[in-house]
């Protein structure tokens, strides 16, 4: 297979995805739903961030969660146990969610009654960034133990973030991680990104993230 | 594009990769080189493991390193600074190395004079596991802060490992990580995997890994 053939196939897959993304976007606009696409490496803490956020905001906002994983539905089960509407998508090997999968998941939720739908993408710093799901807001999570070189190594993902959550700041004393380097490198790639420093485990810094979510909701 | 078309294209890409993998495999066999393909999430510590391993073994073994990254050549530069032959492959967006890229990198090294070639794959727990590079040994690195649920969430990658390095065990006291759960889950997927618990930062547990490398080399 030539490189040109591969590029043309990739373009077709992306164009097909874009059609479904536009459908999702129209649905969110019509229903007044804020959709947030969460992207990160495996193990950066997305599920813990979502659990803690849901726990804190579930009486103030109507939340829904779409969980993407290669396999298992443990993440959705965790969220459902808190009384939150959650659907699991098992990608069975694919390294990202597609807009079509998200559209199907939305049809399985009481989505018309929600304020915010969080989509937890497959743990991956590469593939998900090319696939628009129709979301209004893209959140990238970087956890401190992953290292401060990730923005320059995975620039595509960090360049497209609306929000950067720097998670596990409670571990900053135990690893070599220069916060100012991360912030500097990300600002070069993406001057407009909003950055929150948090620990979803200890709760440190989470209030600013909750306030941001509440403020966004009011703007809808 | 239909699902069947997509599957048939993927099969062609994998078949093409397999041809180059067989060429690499033949090259390694002919030259008596042990090739080790290292796979993990971003930030699990592959480069630190390689740096420390190179530092400890460079007088006993002739080592070479092929570094795969989406972008930047900082990892290869780190390794070269230690006097080790290192080539960087920038994949420019692709989430894994291919056997063809590794073959080209080998031609840029004094590979015929090496005992071990380490290939540090792109940080990703999904894509690299489908692409044979012609290596004899596949090492998967899981770092403690990523969480103990990774083997069940990314079973394909853990099922194909010859060696599992559980890294950053110095952080085990600061995070919720059940080592026995990881070992149990991995053994179900992969009963024959060899597991080392290490900290590339503190050096804890590294000697067993060095001994394993030295022993493998003698068997070549």
Kindly tell me if the per-residue pLDDT of A9 is higher than 90.
Answer: no
**Structure-token pair, residue A40:** 């990160």
Q: How far is CA A5 from CA A98, A146, B13, B143, in A?
A: 22, 35, 11, 38
- Asked whether residue A140 carries a pLDDT value surpassing 60, the answer given is yes
User: Of A7, A17, A43, A140, which to mutate for an interface test with B (greatest number of B Cβ within 10 Å)?
Assistant: A43
A216-220, B29-33, B178-182 — which is least confidently predicted? A216-220
Q: Report yes or no: B73 and B90 within 8 Å, Cβ to Cβ.
A: yes
% of chain B surpassing 90 pLDDT = 85
Is the Cβ–Cβ distance between B189 and B157 less than 8 Å? no
Residue A5 has pLDDT above 90, yes or no: no
Neighboring chain A residues of B126 at a CB cutoff of 8 Å: 70, 93-95, 122, 124, 127
Handedness of CA B169, A95, B67, B30 (dihedral sign): positive
User: Do residues A50 and A38 touch, judged by C-beta distance below 8 A?
Assistant: yes
**Both tokens of residue A49?**
């961030």
Determine contact, residues A66/A167, Cβ cutoff 8 Å: no
> Which chain B residues touch A11 with a CB distance below 8 Å?
none
Band of residue B104 on the pLDDT scale cut at 50, 70, 90: very high
Which residues, at least 6 apart from B127, have a Cβ–Cβ distance to it below 8 Å? A95, A126, A127, B94, B95, B96
Predicted confidence (pLDDT) at residue B159 exceeds the cutoff of 60: yes
DSSP letter at B23?
Answer: H
Contact residues on chain A for B156, CB-CB shorter than 8 A:
70, 93
**Minimal Cα–Cα distance from A32 to chain B, Å?**
31
Best of B125, B126, B168 to mutate (most A CBs within 10 Å, chain A): B126
Q: How far apart are CA A194 and CA A215, in angstroms?
A: 14
Q: Does B19 reach chain A within 8 Å, measured CB to CB?
A: no
Inter-chain residue contact B42 with A168, CB threshold 8 Å = no
Mark yes or no for CB contact B171/A170 under 8 Å.
Answer: no
Rounded to 5 degrees, what angle do the CA atoms B161, A127, A34 make? 130
What does the mean pLDDT of chain A come to?
A: 93
Q: Inter-chain contact A72–B153, Cβ cutoff 8 Å? A: yes
B210 three-state secondary structure: helix
The mean of the pLDDT values for chain B is 93
Q: For B69, which of A123, A153, A201 is closest by C-beta distance?
A: A153
Choose, out of B43, B146, B204, the residue to mutate when testing the contact with A (most A CBs < 10 Å).
B43
Task: State which residue of chain B sits closest to A43, comparing Cα positions.
Answer: B146
Residue A1 has pLDDT above 60, yes or no: no
Q: What is the pLDDT of residues A147-205, one digit of tens each?
A: 999 999 999 999 999 999 999 999 999 999 999 999 999 999 999 999 999 999 999 99
Cα B196 to the center of its chain, rounded Å? 14
Q: Is the pLDDT of residue B177 over 70?
A: yes
**What's residue B166's pLDDT?**
98
Mean pLDDT on B85-98: 93
Report the C-alpha gap between A61 and A115 in whole angstroms: 6
Tell me whether A191 touches chain B (CB under 8 Å): no
Sheet with A63-69, edge to edge strand ranges: A85-90, A63-69, A116-120, A34-40, A137-143, A163-167, A194-197
3-state SS of chain B: helix, strand, coil percent to 5? 45, 20, 35
Of B9, B16, B123, the CB nearest to A9: B9
Distance CA A199, CA A118 (A): 19
pLDDT(A208) > 70: yes
Q: What is the pLDDT of residue B6?
A: 66
A95 touches chain B (CB under 8 A): yes
Q: pLDDT class for B93, splitting at 50, 70, 90?
A: confident
Q: Quick one: closest CA in A to B126, which residue? A: A95
Nearest to A43 among B70, B95, B145 (CB): B145
Contacts of B155 in chain A (CB under 8 A): 70-71
Say if A150 is an interface residue toward chain B (CB within 8 Å). yes
Q: What is the pLDDT of residues A63-112, one digit of tens each?
A: 999 999 988 888 899 899 999 999 999 998 899 999 999 999 999 998 77
- Sort out which chain A residues have CB atoms less than 8 A from B69's CB and list them: 153
A90 touches chain B (CB under 8 A): no
Mean pLDDT, range B78-93, rounded to an integer: 92
Best residue of A7, A14, A16, A42 to probe chain B, by most B CBs closer than 10 Å = A42
Q: Does residue B8 surpass a pLDDT of 80?
A: no
User: B59 falls in which pLDDT band (50, 70, 90)?
Assistant: very high
C-beta atoms surrounding A156 within 10 Å: 15
Model pLDDT, residue A3: 59
Tokens of B62: 């002739």
The answer, for B181 touching chain A at a CB cutoff of 8 Å, is no
B163 pairs with which residues across the strands? B139, B194
Q: How far apart (Å, rounded) are the C-alpha atoms in residues B159 and B104?
A: 28
Name the residue in chain B with its Cα closest to that of A149.
B43
Mean pLDDT computed over B148-171: 97
Instruction: State the Cα–Cα distance between residues B205 and B132, nearest whole angstrom.
Output: 28
In three-state form (DSSP H/G/I as H, E/B as E, the rest C), the secondary structure along B126-188 is CHHHHCCCCCCEEEEEEEHHHCCCHHHHCHHHHHCCCEEEEECHHHCCCCCCCHHHHHHHHHH
Judged by a CB distance cut-off of 8 A, whether residue A214 touches chain B is no
pLDDT above 90 for B17:
yes
Q: Phi/psi at B125 (nearest 5 deg)?
A: -95, 5
Question: Which strands form B116-120's sheet, in the order they lie side by side?
Answer: B85-90, B63-69, B116-120, B34-40, B137-143, B163-167, B194-197
| Choice between A10 and A91, residue whose per-residue pLDDT is larger | A91
ipTM reported for the complex, 2 dp: 0.83
Stated as kind and residue range, the H or E segment containing A196 is: strand A194-197
Residue-wise DSSP of A108-176? TTTGGG-SEEEEE--S-SSGGGG---S-SEEEEEEEGGG-TTHHHHSHHHHHT-SEEEEE-GGGTTTS-
């Amino acid at each position: 297979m030539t490189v040109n053939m591969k590029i043309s196939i990739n373009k077709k897959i992306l164009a097909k995805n874009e059609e479904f993304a536009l459908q999702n976007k129209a649905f969110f606009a019509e229903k007044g739903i804020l959709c947030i696409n969460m992207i990160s490496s495996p193990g950066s803490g997305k599920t813990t961030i979502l659990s803690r956020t849901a726990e804190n905001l579930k009486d103030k906002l109507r939340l829904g969660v779409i969980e993407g994983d290669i396999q298992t539905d443990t993440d959705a089960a965790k969220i459902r146990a808190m009384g939150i509407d959650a659907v699991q998508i098992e990608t069975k090997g694919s390294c990202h969610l597609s807009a079509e999968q998200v559209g199907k998941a939305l049809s399985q939720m009481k989505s018309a009654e929600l304020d915010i739908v969080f989509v937890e993408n497959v743990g991956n710093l590469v593939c998900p960034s090319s696939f628009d799901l129709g979301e209004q807001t893209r959140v990238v999570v970087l956890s401190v133990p992953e290292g401060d070189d990730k923005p320059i190594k995975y620039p595509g993902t960090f360049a497209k973030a609306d929000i950067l959550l720097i998670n596990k700041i409670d571990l900053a004393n135990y690893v070599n991680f220069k916060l100012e380097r991360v912030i500097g490198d990300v600002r070069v790639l993406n001057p407009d990104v909003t950055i929150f420093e948090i620990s979803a485990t200890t709760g440190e810094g989470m209030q600013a993230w909750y306030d941001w979510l509440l403020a966004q909701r009011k703007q809808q």
